[in-house]
Structure 1
Amino acid sequence: MLNLEPVEKTVTKTVPKRSDQPKMLFGKPLNPKNNSLNLIRLVLSLMVLFAHSFFIVGAGTGPTFKQENLGGWAVAGFFGISGYLITGSRFNNKIGPYLVHRVARIFPGFLVCLVVMAAFFAPVAYVIQHSSLHGFFQTPTTPANSIFANMFLRISTYDIAGTPAGVPYPGAWNGSLWTLYFEFLCYLMIAVLGSFAFFKKTPWPILAAFILSVILWANITRIDPYFQNNFDFNMLARLVPYFLGGAVVKVFSKRIGFNWQGALVAGVLGTICVLSFDGYGNQLAAPFMAYLLLWASTWLPSPKIVKTNDVSYGAYVYAFPVQQMLAVLGAFRWGVWWFTLVAGLATLIFAIASWVLIEKPTMGLARRRV
C-alpha cells in the first residue's frame, strides 16, 4: 500500500539526506499498481473449481500431492497472498479503517451469495426434485435458516431444503465457503498483532509467530485431544502458517525484493520442505510458496481489465453452487473436462456480476467513508 502521508523536508547544505528505509539486498519491490495478482488469484479460484469437479461428477478426489489436492494447494496460495497484502494493509492503517475495509471486502459478496443460493439455485433444484415448490420454505434446512445460520462466515449448514439431491455429491450447495471463516480469523489475528509496535518495527516477531504456528501444526495430533479434537481449531492450525508465511515475506520485503534468483532459491527451499517433512512440510514451505506467487505477479502478463477488476473472489464463492446446479441438470455425465469448462464459463458470469454490482461499489463506499 502506498504511503500518501506528507514528508517533512530535512535536507540541509551540510547534512546529507539519510533514508529511513534499509537498503534492499536484492531484487525489486512489488509494484502495488502494476502486478498480476488479480490474474493469479483468478487462476487459483479456477484451480479450486477444477479440483471440486472431480467430487461433483463422482470421479474421486482428483490429482493430489503430499496429502493435498489441487484445491488445497490453491487455498494455500490464497492464504499466502492474503498474508502478504493484509499484513501490509494493517501495518499502514489504524485498526478502525483496517477492519472496515476487511468487512467490506468479505461480507457483502458472501451474504449476497447466500441469498442467491437460497433464492435461485435451491428453488430450481427443488422443483426438479419435487415438481413444485410445495414445502420448500418449511423443509429443513429452510432457506431462511440457511442464510441466518451461515451469515457470520462459520458454515454450519450446507444443504437447502434437502437440495441438491440425486447428484454424485448431494447435500452441499457450497463446499468452498468454509475457508472464509478462517481467512477472517487471520484478519483479526493480524489486527491484534499490528496493535503492538514491535511487530511493525522489526520483522523478527512475525517470523517467530510463523515458526510457532508450524510447530503447533507439526504437533497437532498431540494437541488436538486438549481441544476435544475441535474441527475449527484443527483447520485454523492448518491454515494459519500459510497466512503467516505471506506475512513473513511482507515484513522482509523492505530488505528482500523479487527477482528470478530469489524465486529459484525459494523454489528449491520450498521443494525441500515439502518433500522432507511429512505432515508439516507444506506449512513450513509457506513463505517460499508466497514468494514464488508474488514474484510471478511481477512479470506475468495480465490484461488491463483483469488488473483493475478482481473477479477472483466472486469466482471462488460461486463456483461450487454453479457446479452443483449443472450436476442437478445432469451435466455430471459429461465427465470432468467438459463439465469444468462449462462450469468455469458460467461461474465467470456470476463472478463478474458480483464484482460489478456488489464488491466494487461496497469497497468504494468503505474507502470514501473511512
Structure 2
Amino acid sequence: MVGFARLRRGRCMDRREIAKQEQLGAQRFQLKDLLKTRMLGAELDASKGVGPGFDFLRLALAILIFYGHTSLLTVVATPPTFASDLSAATNAGDLVSMTISALKTRGYVLFVPMFFALSGFLVAGSALRLQHVGQFLGFRVLRILPALLVEVTLSALILGAIFTTLPLRDYFTDPQFFRYFGNIVGHITFHLPGVFTSNPKTDYVNGALWTLPPEFFCYLILSALMILGILGRRQIVLVLFVACAIVIVPASLFYGIGITGTFYSTSAIVSYFVAGVLTFLYREKVPLNFGAAIICGLVALAAVPYPRMAFVLVPFLTYLTVWVGLQSWLALPFMKGRDYSYGIYLYNFPICQAIIATIPGISRGQLIVSGLITSLAFAAFSWHFIEKPFLRFKSLLVSDRFKIGRWTRTARTNAAETDKA
C-alpha cells in the first residue's frame, strides 16, 4: 500500500510538472507571438472575426474615460489646454515638466478617439456582412437606443428629482426637464433644472452624452457609403479619406480649424471612425507589429499637449487601437458574451456627479473607487436586463433580410427566364 501511494504521488508530481512546463511553453509562445509580425486580416480570420483583445479594449477605454471624468468633476477650474502654455517654456526643463503635467491632466483625451476608431473597425465588418442599409441602421438602433433611453429617463425622473433644488412641481413642469429627453434622439442637453448647481462642474448631469451626435453622424456616413456602393470599393474610400486629410491636416495645424482646445470636435471624431473603417477594409494588407505599436503609442503620448495634432494622430491611434484589440494575451474569458463598456460610459458621469453632491469635498481617489464600483453595477444591470435582451431582436432583422434576399433572387431568376422566353 505504501509503495502504491508513493507511485501515485509520483504520477501526480509528474502531471504537475508537465502542466507547469506546458504553461511556461504557452507563455514563451505568447511572447514570441507578440514580437512576430502578422497580418491583421489573417489574425482576424484566426479568431473567427472577433479580436481576442476587443473585450479588454472596450472595458479599459470605458474605465479610462471614467478616470478622466473624475479629474474634470473634482476641480472647479477647467484644466489648461497647454497649447499656448508650452510656448512659454524658457528651457528644456520647463518643457518636460509642462509636458508631464499635460499628460496627467489631459492624457484622457486619447481615449474617446480610440473608442471611435474601434467602433469604425468593428461596425465596418457588420456593414459588409449585412450589405443592407436598413438592417445596418436597425442593428445600430438596437445597440444604442434602449440603454440610452433608460439612462436618460432615470436621470430625468429619479436622479433629477432627488438632487434638484427646485420644488418638484416646478422641476417636472420646467421646459428644461422636457428638453432633456431630446438626448435620446441626439439633441443634446446637459442640464436639468436645479440639478447639481453646487457641484464643481456646475449643472452638468451627463457630460458624456456629447459624443452622440458625432456617433450618429458616423453611422450616416457609413450608410451613405453603402447606398452609393462605395463601401465595398476600398480604393475610392481611401482616395476620399486622403483628399480630406490633405485639406484638414494643414488647416488644423496652422490655423486651428476643426480644433476645439481638445481633440474633441466632430470632424476629428469622424476622422478616427473612418480610419477604423479603412483599417478593416485593408485588413489583409496591414501588418501587426509590436515595434510599430510602441512607436504609435509614443507618438500619441508626445502629442497630448498639442491639440492641433488631433488629425495628425489619426493613423497612429487607429493602428494602436486595432493592434491592442488583436492581442490574444489580453483576452478576458470572464467577459465573453458581456459588454459593460457602453453602460460604464453612459452612467459614470451622472453617478460621479451624484456622489459629489452627496459627499461635498470628496477626494478624487474616493470618487474613483466609489464611482467605479457603482458604475460597474449599473453597467452590469444595463447589459443583462436591457442591452442584451434587445440585441436578441437582431435575429428578426436578419431573418427579414434572408426573406428579401430570397425574394430578390427569385425575382431576378424569373426576369431572366422571361427574357429568354
- Alignment TM-score, normalising by the size of structure 1: 0.79
- Give the superposition deviation at 1:208: 2.6
Match of 2:403 in 1: none
Q: How many residues align?
A: 331
The alignment partner of 1:69 has SS state of: helix
Letter in 2 for 1:50: Y
Q: Which amino acid aligns with 1:38?
A: D
Instruction: Specify which structure has the higher proportion of helix.
Output: 2
Matches within 5 A, 1:1-370: 26=39, 28-30=42-44, 31=47, 32-33=49-50, 35-58=52-75, 61=79, 65=102, 69-93=106-130, 94-126=132-164, 129=165, 133-142=168-177, 144-147=178-181, 149-155=182-188, 157-201=189-233, 203-214=234-245, 215-216=247-248, 218-220=250-252, 235-258=265-288, 262-268=289-295, 271-272=298-299, 280-297=308-325, 298-330=327-359, 332-370=360-398
SS of the aligned residue for 1:35 comes to: coil
CA distance in 2, matches of 1:316, 1:244: 21
For each residue in 1:149-183, what CA deviation from the matched residue of structure 2 results, as whole angstroms up to 9, or x when unmatched?
A: 3221131x211122112111111100001102101
Aligned mates of 2:332, 2:256 — CA distance in 1: 46
**2:265 partner SS:** helix
Distance in 1 (alpha carbons) for counterparts of 2:301 and 2:199:
35
Shift, 1:199, TM fit = 3.7
Distance in 1, matches of 2:140 and 2:387, equals 12
* AA of the residue aligned to 1:151: I
Q: After TM superposition, give the deviation of residue 295 of structure 1 in Å.
A: 2.1
Q: Is the 8 A contact 1:206 1:251 kept in 2?
A: no
Deviations 1:290-328 (A, max 9, x none): 222222232233332312101100110101000110011
Q: Deviations over 1:2-42 (max 9, x none)?
A: xxxxxxxxxxxxxxxxxxxxxx9846322234512122111
What's the RMSD between the two structures over aligned residues?
Answer: 3.1
- Alpha-carbon deviations, 1:61-91, whole Å to 9, x = none? 3987589823321101101101111112112
Q: Distance in 2 between matches of 1:309 and 1:194?
A: 29
Change in CA separation of 1:250 and 1:67 when aligned onto 2, cut-off 3 Å: farther
Q: Is the 8 Å Cα contact of residues 74 and 200 (structure 2) preserved in structure 1?
A: yes
Alpha-carbon offset, residue 288 of structure 1? 3.0
Question: C-alpha distance in 2, partners of 1:285/1:223?
Answer: 15
Distance 1:170 1:135 in 2: 20
Cα contact 1:90–1:98 (8 A) shared by 2 = yes
Segment drifting more, 237-246 vs 249-258: 249-258
In the alignment, the residues of structure 1 paired with residue 204 and residue 274 of structure 2 have an alpha-carbon distance, to the nearest angstrom, of 30
Query: What CA deviation, in whole Å up to 9, does each residue of 1:223-256 have, x standing for no partner?
Result: 969xxx999xx92212111112212211110223
Cα distance in structure 2, aligned partners of 1:178 and 1:186: 14
**TM-fit CA distance, 1:135:** 2.3
Write the distance in 2 (CA, Å) between the matches of 1:34 and 1:246.
14
1:25–1:255: 8 Å Cα contact kept in structure 2? Answer: no
Cα distance 1:98–1:161, how it changes in 2: closer, same or farther (>3 A)? same
Aligned-partner residue type, residue 43 of structure 1 = A
Q: Which residue of 2 aligns with 1:19?
A: none
Say if 1:230 and 1:294 are closer, same or farther in 2 by CA, change over 3 A. Answer: closer
> Structure 2: how far apart are the matches of 1:305 and 1:188?
34
SS in 2 for 1:136: helix
- Paired with 2:310 and 2:301, the residues of 1 have a C-alpha distance of 5
C-alpha distance 71-153 of structure 1, shift in aligned 2 (>3 A): farther
Structure number with greater Rg is 2
Query: What is the Cα deviation at residue 145 of structure 1?
Result: 2.8
Q: 1:191 to 1:50 in 2, by over 3 A?
A: same
Q: 1:343 to 1:138 in 2, by over 3 A?
A: same
Alpha-carbon contact 1:83-1:245 (below 8 Å) kept: yes
Partner SS, residue 168 of structure 2: coil
Shift of 1:200: 1.2
Distance 1:267 1:250 in 2: 21
Q: Percent identity?
A: 23
- 1:108-165 per-position Cα deviation (integer Å, ceiling 9, x unaligned): 1111111010111111112xx45x63422123522x3311x3221131x211122112
Matching residue's letter, 1:210: F
TM (norm. structure 2) is 0.70
Q: Displacement, 1:341?
A: 1.2
Check 1:269–1:74 CA distance in 2 against 1; reply closer, same or farther (3 A cut): closer
